[in-house]
Structure 1
Amino acid sequence: MRMVLTLLFLGMSIAGPARAEVRDCPILDEAAGGPVDARVRTVMANLRRPVRVPGERPSTLIERMRAHGVPGVSVAVIHGGRIAWARGWGVRDAALCAPVTPNTVFQAASISKVVTAMLALRLVEQGKIALDADINTALRSWHLPPDAKLAPQGVTLRQLLSHTAGLSVHGFPGYASGTTLPDTVQILDGKPPANSEPVRSILPAGGQWRYSGGGYVVAQRALSDVSGLSFAELADREILRPLGMTRSSFSLASAPAIGNDLAFGHANGRPIAGNYHFYPELGPAGLWTTASDLARLLIDVQTSAAGQPGHRLSPHMTATMLTPVRDNWGLGPVLYTDGAKRFGHDGLNEGYQSSMLAYADRSEGIVILTNGGQGRRLMDEIVRAVATEYGWSEIAAPAATEQHLSATALSNRVGRFEGGGLSVSFEARGDGLYAHTGGPAPERLIALPGDRFFASGMGIVIRFAAGADHFDIIEGGPPIRFERQLVLKSSNEPMPH
């Protein structure tokens, strides 16, 4: 699979900035989005890409929203163990020009997986489901078809939550308004009216990391089966209500109070047909929430990770959740293990993009929700501005000027690298390092301090390890590690002695 396509599925931007603007809506009064203090003003006025161009002034948040075609954005910042501030910018609905406020509810998309994982681990601690047993022992209404070759021992909840179960179906397109929705069994078997393939074993269980939203639907079904409750009811009882996430739900029908301030999904600057898609795949993609509510969830995880009991998960289970299983992925969250430990997740549904990222060892973090356009690129710039203001250099380094590397330094990074089912090849030229990702032309990477390179076309920053035997994506997407691949000599070439 070509890297450019897979990066798109992971929620990374690979095209240039969207030019679709919300032309019909005026710029709203600053007070419409919520409170503003000195730190918020600093963030609003200092958005930058990773590369600092001499003489170039920083952009304002409103300017970048327009440039990226993002109608609305909601941000919550965690500082010192509390929500330091939360507010919105732009509109939740480009047809009516209703403003985004701190209470505006967005689709969280794949961030839903973190809530699902916490719910699953809570039921593990209650003894209702096993973490390392065949998931079919927990399933009542459906069973994952056995595969004696790929999963001779079955697949486990631990594997499902860490994307190591070897299951199919990366993600889901959702269902437009008025479409007949499938039930969970129809989704799992890929039968009409489901619009996705069956969830089946396609790789050896536990053998590798392969992102699978389908695996989270299996977990969704198992959690409902062992509890005797609908997934939405179970999540509300065990996670959302106890954390005070009063404007969050996996079911709009059962939470009518949040429906009066919804952000509609947008494409090309206008609300999508029906205003949003429906996602009966609740476990991987179905959460409606606010930035503040997700910040409350992050704070609960951080506090438990610090060893304090009395939270949704015990300190021991939280540590288990935040321990890498394979390729920087824990049980639910993606993990950043270089330097200070961080955890989080991104999300991409039709018309929505989202991101949350927090430190595991101190109470700092950020949540951003958007409702259209090139939301991924805007979120990266907001994260950089907030991280610069609060000194979170591990989350995002301040913008820096381009570095000019020697021919030797460039040649050390030449070669083919693979990771997460993706591949990329690097070539050194006179003006820098070029990446061949499967697109129509190679992309020149911009060298930054600290062995970092910025791929502006894809909007990601990578960092090479000492010796350049691997590199990691460190900004703009999940921290996938790419390992250098050895090039085997052809049979007619002499082998070295």
Structure 2
Amino acid sequence: MNPAWQARHGLPLAQYQTEFDTLVRQGFRLLDVNGYSINGADHYATVWEQSPGPPWEAHHGLTSDEHTRLFQTLPAQGFRPVSVSGYDRSGRPRFASLWQKTPGPAFEARHGMTADQYQAAIDDCTARGFRPVDLSCYSDGGQVRFAAVWDQSPVPAWAARHGMTTAEYQAEFTRLAAQGYVLLRVTGYEVSGSTRYAAIWVKGRVVTWQARHGLSSTEYQSAFNDLLRRGYRLTKINGHTAGGRTSYAGIWHKPYLSDDDETFIRQTVTTFMSGHGIPGASVALADSGRLVFARGYGVVDPATGAPVTTGHVFRIASVSKPITAVAVFRLIEQGRLRLNDRVFGANGILGTTYATPPYSTNIDQITVQNLLEHTSGWAGSQDPMFRHLDLSQHQLIDWMLGRDTTGAFNAPLSHTPGTTIEYLNFGYCLLGRVIERITGLPYEAAVRRLVLEPCGIIDMHVAGDTLADRRGNEVVYTPQGTPGPYGIRVSRMDAHGGWLASPTDLLRFLTRVDGFPEKPDILSAGSLTTMYTPTTARTPSGDPSGYAKGWATNAAGNHWHDGDLPGTASILVRTSGHQGWAVVVNSRDDTRLDTMRKDLDDVMWSVVQHITDWPAHDLF
């Protein structure tokens, strides 16, 4: 759930106390407090969340001595400081602080430090394994003072800076952000009537964030509203006055999609569904190796009205081909198979198991690479996978290699292998048999061992043919033409179009073969490069195709595959921008199939062009 939250700024002391009491009664807990002075009077800015959590205490308006006594009493009760804010009241320092009763690493806190003393404290604490986690700058009798908290929590790297002009802070902000640092704390303060900044950055935190500084109250409110619409939540706020001007700096995180984001995705998906008569759909999106979005829309079956969830599985049709291709490359990496291995004939992997030799011309020249690239030499019009439904896989291959009653070959090659690309499901059916021959396992079991288990996938299966074969968490497929979804041999299509999967599991697979560093790939970089390199063969009309080995590709560096069968359609996309998505649906618009395929491809492209920042959580 997305817990309710509140943020306030510019609150005078009495109003702050009233707001504090009201929000506490409503079940909110304080997440950040910042005290600052406007015309010598206390003002406060706060962030609240309505959620359960450890016991907490907040204090404000404390003198330096009172502040010191808190650190002498609260830690002994199990409390640790979350936020410490020093500020000026008519030339004398005051403090506000937030504490939580929660276990954690050892910490130290100091206040009243000059700039030199603060730098010395950083050096001393760093040498003893502590890092700064909170920071505040304030005035004491016109002199700048620092308050800071350190703890021993590990991070890959951190940086702390102080005394920066606005321009210096912006330059350091830009430089560190480009290196993967996240702003943890920022505080503005006055030196000789001008603003200076002190800040802490940490590296290694996975978070989608934004920060602003130097904002007037009106500018801050405008930035707050804009970021709120985009799903960001304020996590830290700092107000300070310099040269008679009060300005604000804030840090925002995006833990969830905004309501507007969710609405846009829902409307985009459901518009596609209604335009093509689709009862149910499931969508998932990954960003930088993290699953950031997964939703079901519509119904499993119009007869029952049960809603689609992210746990439902769908027939994924030809999105099965990339899975088969990866299994082949796993065997290649194990030294059990080569791309140029022949498939048929005396020296072929499948030998003369099927039909009766001699085979037609060049059959014995077909290689594993030809099957992966759809360059076996058979024409697409010869594809038998949706015909001869009474034949088993073995019988179907026998027929393709065999002769009719007159002695003529049933399916002689139309092209020399490797020269012409024509999309052929049958080629991947043969790859399934190659995998079985090499591993000694049924295709499904072999792929589970070679691909699915290393990707952490446990709920993908080869589909059954009939409604009675439907799995417990499988959707029902709604026909929009003939043949219907339960009148085809899906189980016979195992290696080219037979798998069942959820979009989430498809992305578990995709993020382990995408060539990006966020998650370790199950194939080497060299294998991935080979797999994603388009064939040099041309289409029958002489055009390049862009098809690689189990994947379609383009010059932008995107890889994908789509697929459809009566009653279902799917698409799996990996972009050069480190994103990936999967969409599956439980019907197919047979009367407008080309339009539906284009619209299915457009669905998530529309979404990612509209939503440019995604939460940094990982739903895997």
With normalisation by structure 1, the TM-score equals 0.59
The answer to whether the aligner puts 1:324 opposite 2:531 as a matched pair is: no
In 1: Cα distance, 2:324 partner to 2:479 partner? 28
How do 1:32-431 and structure 2 match up within 5 A? 37-38=258-259, 39-45=261-267, 47=268, 61-136=269-344, 137-139=348-350, 142-143=353-354, 149-150=361-362, 154-168=365-379, 169-170=382-383, 172-173=385-386, 182-190=391-399, 200-250=412-462, 259-268=471-480, 272=484, 274=486, 278-302=490-514, 305-306=515-516, 311-326=521-536, 327-337=545-555, 340-359=556-575, 361-374=576-589, 375-376=596-597, 378-390=599-611
In 2: Cα distance, 1:79 partner to 1:141 partner? 47
Return the structure number with greater helix share: 2
For 1:425-464, what per-residue CA distance to the aligned partner results, in whole angstroms no more than 9, with x for missing partners? xxxxxxxxxxxxxxxxxxxxxxxxxxxxxxxxxxxxxxxx
Q: CA deviation at 1:92?
A: 1.6
Gapped regions of structure 1 (runs ≥ 5): 1-34, 48-60, 192-196, 393-497
In 1: Cα distance, 2:519 partner to 2:361 partner? 42
The share of aligned pairs that are identical, in percent, is 25
Q: 1:308 to 1:99 in 2, by over 3 A?
A: closer
For the Cα contact (< 8 Å) 2:460–2:499, is it kept in 1?
Answer: yes
Question: SS of the residue aligned with 2:327?
Answer: helix
In 1: Cα distance, 2:358 partner to 2:546 partner? 28
Amino acid of the structure 2 residue aligned with 1:346: D
Q: 1:322 to 1:380 in 2, by over 3 A?
A: closer
Question: SS of the residue aligned with 1:201?
Answer: coil
Larger radius of gyration: 2
In 2: Cα distance, 1:270 partner to 1:85 partner? 34
Question: SS of the residue aligned with 1:317?
Answer: helix
Q: CA deviation at 1:219?
A: 1.1
Gapped regions of structure 2 (runs ≥ 5): 1-255, 401-408, 537-544, 590-595, 614-620
Match of 2:68 in 1: none
Return the structure number with greater strand share: 2
In 2: Cα distance, 1:316 partner to 1:270 partner? 44
Q: CA deviation at 1:332?
A: 0.6
Question: SS of the residue aligned with 1:66?
Answer: helix
Q: 1:155 to 1:308 in 2, by over 3 A?
A: farther
For the Cα contact (< 8 Å) 1:74–1:88, is it kept in 2?
Answer: yes
Q: CA deviation at 1:291?
A: 0.7
In 1: Cα distance, 2:469 partner to 2:520 partner? 29
Q: CA deviation at 1:201?
A: 2.4
Question: SS of the residue aligned with 1:98?
Answer: coil
For 1:293-346, what per-residue CA distance to the aligned partner results, in whole angstroms no more than 9, with x for missing partners? 1111111111xx236895321111011101111321111101112xx3000101
Question: SS of the residue aligned with 2:451?
Answer: helix
- CA-based RMSD: 3.2
In 2: Cα distance, 1:140 partner to 1:228 partner? 15
Q: CA deviation at 1:387?
A: 2.8
How do 1:7-26 and structure 2 match up within 5 A? none
For the Cα contact (< 8 Å) 2:289–2:518, is it kept in 1?
Answer: no
In 1: Cα distance, 2:265 partner to 2:393 partner? 43
How many pairs align?
Answer: 327
Q: CA deviation at 1:381?
A: 4.0
In 2: Cα distance, 1:264 partner to 1:198 partner? 36
In 2: Cα distance, 1:309 partner to 1:42 partner? 29
Amino acid of the structure 1 residue aligned with 2:442: S
Question: SS of the residue aligned with 2:512?
Answer: helix
Match of 1:442 in 2: none
For 1:207-262, what per-residue CA distance to the aligned partner results, in whole angstroms no more than 9, with x for missing partners? 11111111111111111011110001101111112212222112569xx9992111
For the Cα contact (< 8 Å) 1:147–1:201, is it kept in 2?
Answer: no
